[in-house]
Amino acid sequence: MILLRTLGLMLVFLVASLLPSNAAEADLRAIVAKFATGTGFAATEAVVRELAATGDPLVERPLGALAEGNLYIREADSAVFVGNEAGDSVTLLDPLSGEKAGDAAKADITKIKVNNTLRRVIRDALGTLTLRAKDPAVRIAAADTMFKTPDAANIEPLDAAIAAETDAKVKALFEQARAASVLVSDKPEADKLAAIALIGARGDRDALSLLTSVEANAQGAVKDAATAAIANINSTLALWDAGQNIWYGISLGSVLLLAAIGLAITFGVMGVINMAHGEMVMLGAYTTFVVQQVIRTSFPGLFDWSLVIALPLAFLVAASVGLIIERGVIRFLYGRPLETLLATWGVSLVLQQAVRSIFGPTNQEVGNPSWMSGSFDVGQLAVTWNRLWILVFALTVFGLLLYVMKRTPWGLQMRAVTANRRMAASMGIRTPWVDALTFALGSGIAGIAGVALSQIDNVSPNLGRGYIIDSFMVVVFGGVGNLWGTLVGAFSLGIVNKVLEPYAGAVLGKIVVLVLIILFIQKRPRGLFALKGRAVEA
């Protein structure tokens, strides 16, 4: 079978090489075939350079595949193919035309190895070749690559591309890439000064990086211009840095808020020291994992919706576990904080070990849906999508919870029981049920926090451990029993932490925050927003 296929392929090659119109393609084929003869990264790199030197747009396919690690050699006949993995077999495609050329078992083909240096060489080579690509995103990527790896030889193709470019944004990027190349060429000083002005106006870290190396190698007016441009960029970046710290703080604050908001109910409103709170978060994260597993095996098309589907399920799972804990353990321990603390600590150990026995001790992979991956730029500030969504989500959950507490009959009963249990009972409120449902609500909210946190943290049995201390800190700092306090507490702790971090380091930063909180609690034992009322004193 393989022999036949080989013969057939050889025939195809023969015919292809005989046709005069395909002479250039045949040359390319001869070069591509060299991938099979050389060994080691240096040999592969030589072939890549040779391919790139042809300047033929056809080489984009094999080079792109090589960079992705999808270029294979068939062991039987040393033919080179682009391969698409599908289970144990690989679909082989012709490296130049992309036509299907049969299948092969993984054992019969060898992957051509690439390392970072090779990937870089390929990316640079593809940069010049993709300047005229149809997709503007590809052209932008090409401009970006050429900006980062300036080369005097790039000026000519860039000039042609600038003349042909219609998209103003891409054109500007091309001009910056051209300026970068001018700086390393032997063009006259005036051109270089203009180039520095252009790059200086770009003002981002890549520009800074480029100008720093120019400054180190240049003399005279060019050097002075570079120094001035660097100083200019640095002063703008310093401002952006401050903005960035605030944004990071807000983002950390939203994570703290999510982790603490359930606790603000169970500890803040009900006064239960719930050490198993973190485990509710963990259960939510594991629910997300299970949902994604089911989606992966049965409905792969729904993957981007996995988090939305997981939210109500995580709420239900955590809320029912919370309900069981309240009915089974905590209701016997109201008014005995130390016993509650120990019992819930025990429950947390049981839950952790249960998850460890069922799912194993290792991390589980929870994927990011496409709308939660990557980042976008606001000026010089890179905002990652997952952090932004978590912030939106945290505020939404907070808003909903506030609505439930302040505007629904159930919320009214909850607040009545908190304010004065005996009076509430006398008015006909079934306090045990309110307690149970309130605890379930707090646990359920911890569960949906777990869905969000699974996107940025490990999904392992230890997930909850990391958040319990921070959650208590936020609730105590914000003022026990006050939801707004939790909000303000979470964001102020987040921002203080992140503003301190670049100067003090993560370890010292955390210590400083802890010391500040201790001092603050000394001054105001009831936190930022103290709840007033007779029941509180009791």
Kindly identify the residues of this chain, within the stretch 161-190, that bind another protein according to CB under 8 A. Answer: none
Q: What is the crossing angle of helices 483-523 and 385-407, to 10°? A: 100
Q: What is the crossing angle of helices 409-419 and 385-407, to 10°? A: 80
Residue 186 exposed, middle or buried by CB count within 10 Å (0-12, 13-18, 19+)? exposed
Nearer to another protein, 352 or 413 (CB): 352
Place of tokens 């503003």: 499
Size of the site for another protein (CB under 8 A): 69
Q: Give the helix, strand, coil percentages of the chain, each rounded to 5.
A: 75, 5, 20
- One of 157, 367, 450, 485 touching another protein (CB under 8 A): 367
Q: Does 110 bind another protein (CB under 8 A)?
A: no
> Per-residue x/- mask for another protein, residues 392 to 431, rule CB under 8 A?
----------------------------------------
Q: Are 483 and 405 in contact (CB under 8 A)?
A: yes
- One of 84, 466, 512, 528 touching another protein (CB under 8 A): 466
Q: How far is the CB of 93 from another protein (least distance, A)?
A: 18
Candidate segments 12-20, 169-177, 355-363, 396-404, binder of another protein by CB under 8 A: 355-363
H or E segment and range at residue 407: helix 385-407
Q: Does 365 bind another protein (CB under 8 A)?
A: yes
Q: Does 248 bind another protein (CB under 8 A)?
A: yes
Q: How far is the CB of 242 from another protein (least distance, A)?
A: 12
* Backbone torsions φ then ψ of 81, nearest 5 degrees: -135, 155
Candidate segments 174-182, 211-219, 314-322, 392-400, binder of another protein by CB under 8 A: 211-219
- One of 37, 353, 370, 408 touching another protein (CB under 8 A): 353
The one-letter amino acid code at 235 reads S
Kindly identify the residues of this chain, within the stretch 332-351, that bind another protein according to CB under 8 A. Answer: 338, 341-342, 345-346, 349
Greatest pairwise CA separation for the chain in angstroms: 99
Q: Are 448 and 261 in contact (CB under 8 A)?
A: no
Q: Does 300 bind another protein (CB under 8 A)?
A: no
Between CA 8 and CA 14 the distance in angstroms is 10
Q: Does 481 bind another protein (CB under 8 A)?
A: no
Instruction: Provide the token pair at 449.
Output: 């926090």
- One of 176, 245, 288, 471 touching another protein (CB under 8 A): 245
Q: How far is the CB of 202 from another protein (least distance, A)?
A: 13
Kindly identify the residues of this chain, within the stretch 502-521, that bind another protein according to CB under 8 A. Answer: 502, 505-507, 510, 521
List CB contacts of 121: < 8 A, sequence separation 6 or more.
45, 48, 49
Nearer to another protein, 346 or 399 (CB): 346
Concatenate the DSSP letters of all residues of 253-277 into one string: HHHHHHHHHHHIIIIIIT----TTH
Nearer to another protein, 425 or 504 (CB): 504
* Backbone torsions φ then ψ of 270, nearest 5 degrees: -90, -20
Candidate segments 91-99, 242-250, 394-402, 428-436, binder of another protein by CB under 8 A: 242-250
Between CA 52 and CA 45 the distance in angstroms is 10
Collapsed DSSP state (helix, strand, coil) of residue 302:
helix
> Per-residue x/- mask for another protein, residues 23 to 62, rule CB under 8 A?
------------------x---------------------
CA 450, chain centre distance (Å): 16
Q: Does 382 bind another protein (CB under 8 A)?
A: yes
Q: How far is the CB of 45 from another protein (least distance, A)?
A: 10
Q: Does 471 bind another protein (CB under 8 A)?
A: no
Between CA 314 and CA 204 the distance in angstroms is 42
Q: Are 134 and 166 in contact (CB under 8 A)?
A: no
Q: Does 484 bind another protein (CB under 8 A)?
A: no
Candidate segments 150-158, 367-375, 405-413, 432-440, binder of another protein by CB under 8 A: 367-375
Instruction: Provide the token pair at 265.
Output: 């109910």
Beta strand ranges found along 35-88 (DSSP E): 71-74, 80-86
The 8-class DSSP code of residue 333 comes to -
- One of 284, 447, 461, 481 touching another protein (CB under 8 A): 461
CA neighbor of 142 nearest in space, from 158, 159, 163: 158
Q: How far is the CB of 92 from another protein (least distance, A)?
A: 19
The one-letter amino acid code at 84 reads N
Between CA 393 and CA 48 the distance in angstroms is 47
Q: Does 213 bind another protein (CB under 8 A)?
A: yes
| Interface ranges with another protein (CB under 8 A) | 41, 69, 113, 115-117, 119-120, 123, 148, 205-206, 208-213, 216, 244-245, 248, 251-252, 255, 338, 341-342, 345-346, 349, 352-353, 356, 360-365, 367-368, 373-375, 382, 384-387, 456-462, 465-466, 476, 498, 501-502, 505-507, 510, 521, 525
